[in-house]
């Protein structure tokens, strides 16, 4: 079995966990802010945002976004790893196209105690292992085949447990978690799931076969009022006797 062919399966399998990693005050890779709904004292929606933000949240996000933790070299390596995990293709964006490296930078500054040591230490391990195997070259200098040789050895934490690859496998698991989280909370990544969310539906009535099964039928007098989609924005009203009048 070609392990590399199953990376996408592993990616998909961690989506559910990743989507709950940070559900409030979280910025997507494209700078969009995901918020489940307006909060008390919310400001107007930000130009690139999904929802409303309080003044405190806007200030916090701007401060975190302006901070830098990773070096340019570290971000380049993060981008390479992210695209190995989520390479895109067949009309789907890659991790870098979805802004995952920028999202990881944001999260490292937003939750430094949880991400910074794990990520920086893991990147150091990766470069040391690359240098050991391939004549002093860091991971970003390797060929694609050389990079995948290392990834194959650290992409399976159960197999790496108790071996010299365990530290690298722990890092790669965190990197995979971060990539999936960033990818599937971006607008581009959500599109790949064909996620419909709470989109408004067009209802044209109970299907005729269901009505026939139960011996029911719409009153022809009210049928245009029930299913006339041109009137779907109009609030229904009834008279004092319970008759529908709009």
Buried b (16+ CB within 10 A) or exposed e, 223-234: eeeeeeeeeeee
Phi, psi of 244 (to 5 degrees): -70, 125
Nearest to 156 by CA among 147, 166, 148: 166
134 plus 179 within the same structural domain: yes
Q: How confident is the model at residue 217 (pLDDT cuts 50, 70, 90)?
A: confident
8 plus 125 within the same structural domain: yes
116 plus 177 within the same structural domain: yes
For the chain, give the mean pLDDT.
Answer: 80
184 plus 209 within the same structural domain: no
| Structural domain includes residue 26 | yes
246 plus 155 within the same structural domain: no
Across 37-46, 185-194, 201-210, which has the greatest mean pLDDT?
185-194
| Structural domain includes residue 198 | no
| Structural domain includes residue 237 | yes
Contact between 27 and 193 (Cβ < 8 Å) = no
Q: What is the pLDDT of residues 138-169, one digit of tens each?
A: 999 999 999 999 999 999 999 999 999 999 99
| Structural domain includes residue 45 | yes
93 plus 209 within the same structural domain: no
Angle (deg, nearest 10), helices 166-183 and 100-110: 110
| Structural domain includes residue 197 | no
Domain termination residue (choose one: 156, 173, 192)? 192
Domain termination residue (choose one: 150, 172, 192)? 192
Contact between 180 and 188 (Cβ < 8 Å) = no
Considering only residues 39 and 170, tell me which one the structure prediction assigns the higher pLDDT.
Answer: 170
Contact between 187 and 108 (Cβ < 8 Å) = no
Residue 113's alpha-carbon distances to 23, 107, 117, in angstroms, are 18, 10, 7
| Structural domain includes residue 16 | yes
Percent of the chain with pLDDT over 70: 71
| Structural domain includes residue 126 | yes
79 plus 136 within the same structural domain: yes
Contact between 99 and 182 (Cβ < 8 Å) = yes
61 plus 158 within the same structural domain: yes
- Domain holding 224, by residue range, is 203-246
Domain count of the fold of the chain:
2
245 plus 140 within the same structural domain: no
31 plus 141 within the same structural domain: yes
11 plus 64 within the same structural domain: yes
Whole-structure pTM value: 0.62
20 plus 136 within the same structural domain: yes
Domain termination residue (choose one: 192, 214, 234)? 192
| Structural domain includes residue 181 | yes
Contact between 14 and 176 (Cβ < 8 Å) = yes
Helices within 111-165 (DSSP H only): 112-133, 144-154, 157-160
């Amino acid at each position: 079995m070609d392990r590399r062919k199953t990376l996408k399966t592993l990616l998909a399998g961690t989506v559910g966990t990743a989507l709950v990693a940070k559900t409030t005050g979280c910025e997507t890779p494209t700078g969009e802010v995901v918020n489940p709904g307006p909060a008390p004292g919310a400001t107007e929606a930000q130009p690139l945002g999904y929802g409303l933000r309080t003044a405190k949240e806007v200030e916090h996000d701007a401060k975190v976004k302006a901070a830098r933790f990773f070096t340019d070299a570290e971000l380049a390596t993060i981008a390479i790893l992210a695209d190995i995990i989520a390479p895109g293709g067949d009309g789907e964006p890659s991790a870098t196209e979805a802004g995952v490296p920028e999202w990881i930078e944001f999260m490292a500054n937003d939750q430094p105690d949880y991400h910074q040591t794990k990520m920086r230490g893991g990147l150091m391990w990766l470069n040391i292992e690359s240098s050991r195997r391939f004549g002093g070259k860091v991971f970003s200098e390797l060929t694609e085949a050389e990079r995948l040789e290392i990834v194959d050895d650290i992409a399976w934490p159960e197999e790496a447990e108790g071996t010299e690859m365990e530290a690298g496998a722990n890092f790669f698991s965190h990197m995979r978690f971060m990539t999936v989280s960033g990818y599937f909370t971006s607008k581009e990544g959500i599109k790949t799931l064909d996620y419909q969310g709470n989109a408004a539906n067009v209802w044209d009535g109970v299907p005729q076969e269901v009505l026939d099964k139960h011996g029911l039928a719409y009153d022809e007098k009210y049928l245009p009022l029930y299913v006339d989609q041109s009137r779907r924005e109009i609030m229904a009203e009834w008279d004092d006797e319970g008759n529908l009048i709009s």
